[in-house]
């Protein structure tokens, strides 16, 4: 039986980044991934935005890891050639009544350590986004975009470079307790590990249960996207957001550019039972027309086409508005490190989270 210092369950951005950070500490590590290749889940089914840290309550893990993670991510993308752009973002007020909410977002962001946040007027907005029909917005100069698939490929390559094995098509099917270790079973083999890192995304609750860890529930929440047709992509230059979703479930249906020039509109919000249902009962393109016209009134239905979808791994049900990341050594199983509920801003935060995970693994191994 193979024996290793740490097994990471989940080869999304958080799992891969954690494996690299653990390996850099000198520990042997492998990553188990249920899908045929890394990054096929939430990590690549999102808006691909590097968030600044504006939205999250002060003192939360989301606020801390987003602000630190954004700095680390820009450095990482520059060093490793991951396509990215610090394009800036406008959060717009749909009416004068929404301006106080923008001012509150500015205060929250500044408390979190976000720099450069400014309330801007129509002239500023028109210079950046001439087709956006609003009078006031909050401008975040340090928000950006990246290519999520390229980030996954880079992290997987770094795993190989640091001798961290990534095992695709290897779902976790069971965990047995052994003296000073856990015996982790996949359909192909059993591996003995001193520490298990639960970065399993939508399946983190199932992994925790198998490992005898804390009981919690992941609530799958689907977000769907539309896209602007190629002839209308010129209408949006960077990132344009409304105020966040009133129930706290998303940052609102927004326009995002990608590093390859397409423009997406979304994501929507729908809690669902299945963790793997990306396509069942998809919204019609008409569902996106209203939100699109609130930001760009000249858009018509013919300017939109359906895009992709993603599923958020939420730690709270639809009737609640916020849950923080769950990161720490499990209270029931000291050989289990929990990294659960990593929804937005998880992509931005992954390198910062990975540093903390590596520290927790060192503590668990001591």
Indicate whether this model's pTM tops 0.75.
Answer: yes
- What is the rounded CA–CA span in Å between residue 228 and residue 295? 13
Among candidate residues 58, 62, 69, the one with its CA nearest the CA of residue 17: 69
Question: Taking a C-beta distance cutoff of 8 angstroms, is the pair 314, 33 a contact?
Answer: no
Instruction: Give the bridge partners for 270, in sequence order.
Output: 222
Is the peptide bond preceding residue 314 cis, with omega within 30 degrees of 0? Answer: no
Written as tens digits, the pLDDT of the chain (366 aa) is 789 999 999 999 999 999 999 999 999 999 999 999 999 999 999 999 999 999 999 999 999 999 999 999 999 999 999 999 999 999 999 999 999 999 999 999 999 999 999 999 999 999 999 999 899 999 999 999 999 999 999 999 999 999 999 999 999 999 999 999 999 999 999 999 999 999 999 999 999 999 999 999 999 999 999 999 999 999 999 999 999 977 667 788 999 999 999 999 999 999 999 999 999 999 999 999 999 999 999 999 999 999 999 999 999 999 999 999 999 999 999 999 999 999 999 999 999 999 999 999 999 999
Closest alpha carbon to 277 in 310, 306, 305, 250: 310
DSSP state of 282: P
């Amino acid at each position: 039986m193979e024996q290793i210092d740490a097994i990471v369950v989940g080869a999304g951005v958080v799992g891969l980044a954690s494996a690299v950070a653990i390996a850099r500490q000198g520990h042997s590590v492998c990553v188990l991934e249920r899908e045929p290749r890394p990054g096929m889940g939430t990590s690549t089914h999102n808006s691909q935005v590097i968030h600044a840290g504006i939205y999250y309550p002060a003192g939360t893990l989301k606020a801390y890891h987003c602000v630190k993670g954004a700095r680390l991510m820009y450095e990482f993308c520059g060093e490793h050639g991951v396509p990215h752009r610090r394009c800036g973002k406008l959060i717009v007020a749909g009416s004068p009544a929404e301006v106080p909410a923008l001012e509150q977002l500015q205060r929250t962001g500044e408390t979190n350590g976000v720099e450069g946040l400014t309330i801007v007027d129509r002239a500023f907005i028109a210079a950046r986004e001439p087709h956006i029909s609003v009078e006031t917005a909050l401008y975040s100069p340090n928000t950006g975009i990246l290519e999520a698939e390229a980030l996954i490929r880079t992290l997987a390559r770094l795993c190989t470079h640091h001798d961290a094995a990534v095992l695709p098509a290897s779902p976790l099917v069971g965990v047995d307790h052994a003296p000073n270790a856990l015996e982790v079973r996949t359909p192909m083999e059993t591996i003995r590990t001193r520490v298990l890192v639960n970065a399993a995304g939508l399946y983190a609750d199932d992994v925790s249960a198998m490992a005898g860890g804390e009981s919690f529930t992941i609530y799958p929440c689907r977000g769907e996207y539309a896209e602007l047709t190629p002839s209308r992509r010129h209408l949006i230059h960077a990132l344009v957001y409304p105020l966040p979703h009133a129930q706290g479930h998303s940052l609102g249906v927004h326009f995002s550019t990608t590093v390859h020039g397409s423009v997406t509109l979304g994501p929507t919000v729908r809690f669902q039972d299945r963790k793997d249902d990306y396509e069942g009962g998809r919204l019609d393109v008409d569902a996106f027309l209203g939100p699109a016209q609130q930001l760009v009134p000249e858009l018509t239905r013919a300017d939109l086409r359906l895009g992709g979808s993603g599923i958020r791994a939420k730690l709270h049900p639809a009737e609640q508005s916020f849950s923080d990341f769950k990161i720490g050594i499990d209270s029931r199983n000291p050989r289990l490190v929990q990294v659960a509920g990593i929804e937005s801003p998880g992509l931005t935060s992954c390198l910062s989270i990975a540093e903390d995970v590596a520290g927790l693994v060192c503590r668990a191994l001591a």
